[in-house]
Structure 1
Amino acid sequence: MTGGELFDRIVSKSFYNEKEARDTCKILFEAIGFCHSKSVAHRDLKPENLLLQSEDSDSAIKIADFGFSKKVLTPNSLTTQCGTPGYVAPEILEGLHYDTKADMWSLGVIMYIILGGYPPFIEQNQRELFRKIRKGQYEFHEEYWGSVSADAKDLIKSLLTVQPSKRITADQALQHKWMLQDASVLAAQDLGANLSELRKYNAKRKFKAAVNAVMMANKLTSLGMNFKDNLKSESSLG
């Protein structure tokens, strides 16, 4: 995947509009729709797991990291609480049985970010973050969403629906009015202001990931040193 992360490619653009956002969402819905047709739930959809195959194409998007993926043999047969804060579906947080619809919630979060430039659920306190997710408390702030088409917002609402049975599938998302809208109409919907916000969000996300990587490296180094010290102690006793 030499093209790097999808979000890095988006924020490098000089111009950005709803057509480009729609084209990206279409690929994601098709990819997850294929997984779901094979009864596979990904369970950890987030920007870090959306990669580009090459530096030459914006459309060769690949979904990565199937470490949490699971076969869904029957509806609502999954029970493991897994995923990433901010993207995880409310039914998982509630400890309920769930299935592939949990992925559609995560795609709703990703679509919100792709269009708005920031996540729908933002809280420093994780307990408060999870409370908002469980209740589906988010809004379309006028400053960034006033110029976004009503159809795009309607699709997001259909994805960020707390009750899984009322949440749309990937196939239904692909048939939504916004997904079928004329390309020239969507190309006229400029997202320049939201692209600036997405750059800020992406920079924070990358910084947080870098900090976590350093913390993990330090922890592993510490564990390695303790392991060596224990070996020395054992050898001196032996």
Structure 2
Amino acid sequence: MYKIGKPLGEGAFSVVKEGTNKETGESFAIKIVTKAKLTDEDEIALKDEIAVLKDLQHDHIIRLYDVFEEAKFYYLVTERMRGGELFDRIVSKSYYNEKEARDVCKILFEALNYCHKQKVVHRDLKPENLLLQSEDNDSDIKLADFGFAKRCDNDKCLTTQCGTPGYVAPEILEGTPYGCMADMWSLGVIVYIILGGYPPFIESNQRELFRKIRRGQYEFHEEYWGGVSADAKDLISKLLTVDPSKRFSAEEALGCKWMQMGGDELAAVDLGVNLAEFKKFNAKRKFK
């Protein structure tokens, strides 16, 4: 049914290759997972990821079309994302304003709101997992990599410590049970970077980084945030709230004042200085 082509990328126990539907000629990405490399825990996680992705049908979430199993491999057929990472697209711009930033954030909140309504927590939101389907459409953003995703019926049904250091929520670091609101913290970090051009929590020492996250210790530096609208900063502060019970949900974020503001007003806010900072941050992120 599919002709397997050139490699597109690889992970610890999988390789992603180009796949073409033999009947339609349509192009896909096929993740080929080597069973021998999987622990029992890895296999459970993979099956969880497949079950979650099969249920998620949203314009801004990567689509899983087919799953095949052979004696030595699993094959996951997904959408082909030709546009690369969202952050790479932003840094390729010569001009960047607050309306563009807001429109991107709105899409991310819509995708996450859908996940949370389906009782799915992503648990690893970070720039690498925000992809673009095409090279010429900035709004065709997809949320990807549901390898850590879990179903969760309430605010405190998960206990596993997972995620990426700069984006992880305080409640996960504290080792307390958590739920969907952990994703909202991670998205708060991403929104901060999209607007400011650098992360809210920066420390070369991981222990110090985690201490700052647990305390919610960050600031809006005047040099980069002076011109950013107060409503945008207000939303970030509602997301980077240490107490998850007081943190904004995706639905609340979509209803906030910044999301309702007129495009012309936001388009007038030039984020050129922040874009220069963003380019530095993105280069460092790639270097790691």
TM-score by length of 2: 0.72
1:10-25, aligned counterparts within 5 Å? 10-25=90-105
Q: Which of the numbers 134, 150, 160 marks the counterpart of 1:54?
A: 134
Deviation at 1:148, TM superposition (A): 0.6
Q: Which of the numbers 154, 158, 168 marks the counterpart of 1:74?
A: 154
Deviation at 1:56, TM superposition (A): 1.6
Partner of 1:30: 110
Q: Which of the two has higher C-alpha Rg? A: 1
Q: Does 1:150 pair with 2:230?
A: yes
Contact 2:83–2:133 (CA under 8 A) maintained in structure 1: yes
What's the % identity of the aligned pairs? 75
More strand by share: 2
Cα deviation per residue 1:23-70 (whole Å; 9 max; x = unaligned)? 000000000000000000000000000000010200000011100000
Contact 2:155–2:181 (CA under 8 A) maintained in structure 1: no
Deviation at 1:73, TM superposition (A): 2.2
Mapped to 2, the partners of 1:199 and 1:53 lie a distance apart of: 22
1:106 partner amino acid: S
1:175-190, aligned counterparts within 5 Å? 175-190=255-270
Partner of 1:97: 177
- SS of the aligned residue for 2:167 comes to coil
User: Unaligned regions of 5+ residues in structure 1, if any?
Assistant: 209-238
Q: Which of the numbers 223, 230, 254 marks the counterpart of 1:174?
A: 254
Partner of 1:113: 193
Partner of 1:134: 214
Larger RCO of the pair (alpha carbons < 8 Å, separation 6+):
1
- SS of the aligned residue for 1:172 comes to helix
Cα deviation per residue 1:150-197 (whole Å; 9 max; x = unaligned)? 110000000000000000100100010001000000000110000000
Q: RMSD value over aligned CA atoms?
A: 0.5
Mapped to 1, the partners of 2:154 and 2:139 lie a distance apart of: 33
Partner of 2:84: 4
Q: Does 1:202 pair with 2:282?
A: yes
Mapped to 1, the partners of 2:204 and 2:238 lie a distance apart of: 26
Q: Does 1:63 pair with 2:143?
A: yes
Mapped to 2, the partners of 1:182 and 1:62 lie a distance apart of: 25
Mapped to 1, the partners of 2:154 and 2:187 lie a distance apart of: 22
Aligned residues: 208
Mapped to 2, the partners of 1:74 and 1:169 lie a distance apart of: 13
Partner of 1:40: 120
Q: Does 1:88 pair with 2:88?
A: no
Partner of 1:227: none
2:283 partner amino acid: A
Partner of 1:225: none
Mapped to 1, the partners of 2:143 and 2:279 lie a distance apart of: 21
Partner of 1:234: none
Deviant stretches of 4+, over 4 Å: none
Mapped to 2, the partners of 1:154 and 1:26 lie a distance apart of: 15
Mapped to 2, the partners of 1:196 and 1:108 lie a distance apart of: 21
